[in-house]
A and B are shown apart, each in its own frame.
Chain A
Amino acid sequence: MSPLDLLVAAPLAFMIAALLSGPWGRWWLLAAIPVMAGLTVWLLLLPEGSGHVVGGWTLPLGVQLRADGVAQLMVAATAVCAAIVGLYALHEFAPGADRSETAHGFAFWPLFYLLWGGANAGFLTTDLFNLYIALEMVSLAAVAMAAMGSLRAALRYFVIALVGSLAYLLGVALLFSNYATVDLTLLAEMARPDLATKTALAVMTAGLLIKAAVFPLHGWLPPAHAAAPAPASALLSAIVVKVGFVILLRLWFEAFPAIIAPAGLELLGWLGALAVLYGSVQAIRQDTLKALVAYSTVAQIGYLLLAFPLVATAAGTGGAWAGMTIHATAHMLAKAAMFLAAGLMLKAVNGHHLKDLHGLARAMPLTVAAFGLAAVSLMGLPPSAGFLAKFLLLEAAVEQGAVFAAAVLLVGGLLAAVYLFKPLAWAFAGSDTPVVVAKAPLRTAAPLALALLAVSLGFAGQAMVDITAGSPWAGPPATEAEDVQ
């Protein structure tokens, strides 16, 4: 047995259990959290680069799951996010009096576990076809969660995500015809810079850019993420977009670093820069809170792409690599916290607009504090994990003389401050204390815990840099992963 396949199998087992137990399905969470926490700790304790071939089928036929630095960090962050969001959702998705509430209560929990299992599979697998399955699992859960908020936004998301998946699948087919394997570690050894490989890489990248909502393919994200119920938005923004990003990393830096043209990296860097600027400006222009937070996701995803040329130029796992992966982790925690806090605030005032938050800081100090702490990490203020990530990226950019990237990093931070101060300014405005109806006040702890984690992880910076260093493409060429069955 290995924690690697259990990390995928356990959530799927909980999915079936939740599906079968109907109205009591939500209580499986209390079993899922300790199980997943144990498996995650086990994963973190595995030696670097441990692999596990599912079902004992050896490569190139088998499907390999592998615990490298990125996978460990992302799986752990996913577990933390999912556990806390799940606890928050226990109240939100309880079967209620109203018919649609009850339907949501039934539907959310199986989707929640499907999302969790799919994300873990996406982070751990090195098999491109299995990654396609993981992408589809995550997309299916994500679209269904988005449909809980707005059917139209979900339909738009569904259609565009389907095209992204098929583009990715076409690339997998091309690669298989060329190399007769779809395993990343084997592809890395055989990669040839021929037309088929480049075409495959191009269509797969396009598909993944859709999944990760990278500018200009981000159009589906703000309506879908803004309309969904708060716990669903938190999972969508924190976890779903990261799956596409991690697969992109695997392709560009693990399988085909040798044949990637600098122009391709530059292009991704530019897209990232435009995403940071466009997403931030759009976020500033929003007057509903959740749309603002959703556009902030578009902007924050931009940093991940902005880092691509920096990572490729930097030697080894130095600053840029660690900065990029830590940014992904920090964004996961901070954005989940922010959506949960936003959900609580909007529920309390029964509105959607920024002006509805008037004076809320006095009525809900802890929730507004959670929002503020998450904002600290998103803006990149010390000592948060977001600061550490942006600092590492900025250092790499300055070292490499990438003036433009450095400028975007700084301007992006300023713009983030502008759009995140807007809701905070409303919350602290006025002098009267609004009367709010807080349901299940214990839920305040969820966004607060996530936000505190996002901020305090900055102190564990060295540990995170060490974890991310355990990635096969960071150092010398990939070696055969050792089996730990």
Chain B
Amino acid sequence: MAIVEHLYPLTGAVLVGLGLYGFLTLRHPLRQLLAVNVVGAGIFLILGGLGRGADSTDPFPQALVITGIVVAVALTAFGAALILRVAEDERAPDGTAADDTNGNHP
């Protein structure tokens, strides 16, 4: 069965597509961060599925995936902290958002 053989990369591709769609259509940074994480999960699934052999498993892609997940977790935590800080700034009572020196309000 061709579909079963390629189950992992196909599911991964679907996740990448979903995540990308989410990233492009959602405007809130937190949702965008989640969408990017879905893309990441898709890529890791593609990579992780590669090492699957009939009788033996190649550990190399798995090692790449583990490293990738570590990076993704670190970046997600950092992104969440950044989003939180921006939200706190916006909620500040004086509304001055003192950080913006150039008046760039996108």
Contacts and interface: CB of A to CB of B under 8 A. Distances in A.
B106 A156 contact: yes
A149 B86 contact: no
B104 interface: yes
A27 B68 CA distance: 33
Contacts of B101: 149-150, 227, 352
A164 to B, nearest CB: 11
Interface in B26-85: 29, 32-33, 36, 39-40, 43, 46-47, 50, 60-61, 64, 67-68, 71, 74-75, 78-79, 82-83, 85
Contact of A227 (B32, B79, B89, B104): B104
Contacts of A226: 102, 104
A108 to B, nearest CB: 15
A330 interface: no
A177 interface: yes
Given A143-B82, A151-B86, A176-B61, A223 B23 contact: no
A173 B99 contact: no
Contacts of A150: 99-102, 104
A112 B67 CA distance: 23
Nearest to B85: A151
A227 B64 contact: no
Contacts of A14: none
Nearest to A146: B82
Contacts of A223: 102, 104, 106
Contact of B36 (A129, A149, A166, A288): A166
Nearest to A148: B99
B104 A61 contact: no
Given A150-B99, A223-B104, A136 B75 contact: yes
Interface residues of A, number: 38
B68 A169 contact: yes
Interface string B89-101: 1000000010111
Given A150-B104, A155-B82, A140 B43 contact: no
Label chain B's interface by main secondary structure. Answer: helix
Interface string A261-278: 000000000000000000
A152 B106 CA distance: 8
A162 B75 contact: yes
Interface string A161-177: 01101100110111011
A126 to B, nearest CB: 16
A154 interface: yes
A291 interface: yes
Contacts of B68: 132, 169
A136 B73 CA distance: 12
A422 B89 CA distance: 35
A173 B67 CA distance: 13
A76 interface: no
B79 A158 contact: yes
Contact of B86 (A143, A152, A169): A152
A219 to B, nearest CB: 9
Interface string A431-446: 0000000000000000
Contact of A291 (B33, B61, B64, B102): B102
A151 B87 CA distance: 10
Interface in A319-378: 352
A163 B64 contact: no
Given A173-B43, A176-B64, A227 B36 contact: no
B80 to A, nearest CB: 11
A143 B33 CA distance: 15
B46 A173 contact: yes
Contacts of A152: 86, 97, 99-100, 104-106
Interface of B: 9, 16, 23, 29, 32-33, 36, 39-40, 43, 46-47, 50, 60-61, 64, 67-68, 71, 74-75, 78-79, 82-83, 85-86, 89, 97, 99-102, 104-106
7 contacts: A129-B67, A133-B67, A147-B85, A152-B99, A153-B104, A159-B29, A162-B79
CB-CB nearest 9 A-B residue pairs: A223-B104, A173-B47, A151-B86, A150-B100, A173-B46, A162-B36, A177-B50, A136-B71, A151-B99
Given A140-B75, A177-B50, A290-B102, 6 more contacts: A152-B86, A152-B105, A153-B100, A155-B29, A176-B64, A227-B102
Interface of A: 61, 129, 132-133, 136, 140, 143-144, 147, 149-156, 158-159, 162-163, 165-166, 169-170, 172-174, 176-177, 182, 223, 226-227, 288, 290-291, 352
